[in-house]
Amino acid sequence: MNVTVTLNGAPVTDDVTPDTTLYEFLRAHGCKSVKCGCETTNCGLCTVWLDDAPVLSCAVLAVRADGRSVTTLEGLQDQSARLARCLAEQGAEQCGFCSPGLVMNVLAFERELAGRVPADEEIRRFLAGNLCRCTGYMSQMRAIKRYLGCPDPGAWPGAAGASGPAAAGTAARPAPVPVAPAKEVPTHER
């Protein structure tokens, strides 16, 4: 059966079998950022946006995406650049296998926050489905908090908010802390 999706802004049509997953469809169309770690909706590696909402592409049939818009990290290169630098700066990219799915979810979370500064627990809850086999959660958390402008006294020398705690959850987000260009950014093509 024919399926047509708007993939990263461009129309793509293919003849798929009824059991083709969105994950398989995307990989077959060059979206190598989309990884598969479990196929059982447990790891979050296959996260993409379907009509701008994050979904696990291993658990969505390609036919369900017919006529809809799908976004992968390939379509968010500019939007993800600063977050990628934050992850690299904090050593959070490690093997990089989980990074694309994590980035997709953090960017979706950021949009949902609409400029509000989240509490740590809120970040952990939103990202609970993104597993990292390298167990790099502390460095990921540091990078995400830095990216989202969270106050973390003492953690960021010279960073905004370093002089005292702000009311996370209600405070408006401060201006982004500049992140030096990293020598190395996580590759999404592994």
Which residues contact ligand FES by CB under 6 A?
A: 36-39, 41-46, 56, 58, 94-98, 132-134, 136
Contacts of residue 177, Cβ cutoff 8 Å, sequence gap at least 6: 146, 149, 156, 159, 160
Comparison of 16 and 34: residue with beta carbon closer to ligand FES: 34
Q: How far is the CB of 129 from ligand FES (least distance, A)?
A: 7
Torsional sign, CA 31, 35, 38, 42: negative
Read off the tokens for 123: 């970040």
8 vs 105, beta carbon nearer ligand FES: 105
Q: Kindly state the helix (H) or strand (E) to which residue 12 belongs, with its residue range.
A: strand 10-15
Compute the half-sphere exposure of residue 103: CA atoms within 13 Å on the CB side of its CA. 32
Nearest to ligand FES of 169, 190 (CB atom):
190
Q: Which is nearer to ligand FES, 105 or 173 (CB)?
A: 105
Q: How far is the CB of 93 from ligand FES (least distance, A)?
A: 6
CB contact set of 179 (below 8 Å; sequence gap of 6+) = 82, 85, 86, 89, 146
Nearer to ligand FES, 21 or 173 (CB): 21
CB of residue 190 vs ligand FES: minimum separation in angstroms?
10
Nearest approach in angstroms of CB 46 to ligand FES is: 3
Smallest distance from ligand FES to CB 162, Å:
27
Q: How many CA atoms lie within 13 A of 30 on its CB side?
A: 6
Minimum distance of ligand FES from residue 177's CB (angstroms):
23
SS3 per-residue string spanning 17-46: CCCCEHHHHHHHCCCCCCCCCCCCCCCCCC
Shorter beta-carbon distance to ligand FES: residue 8 or 21: 21
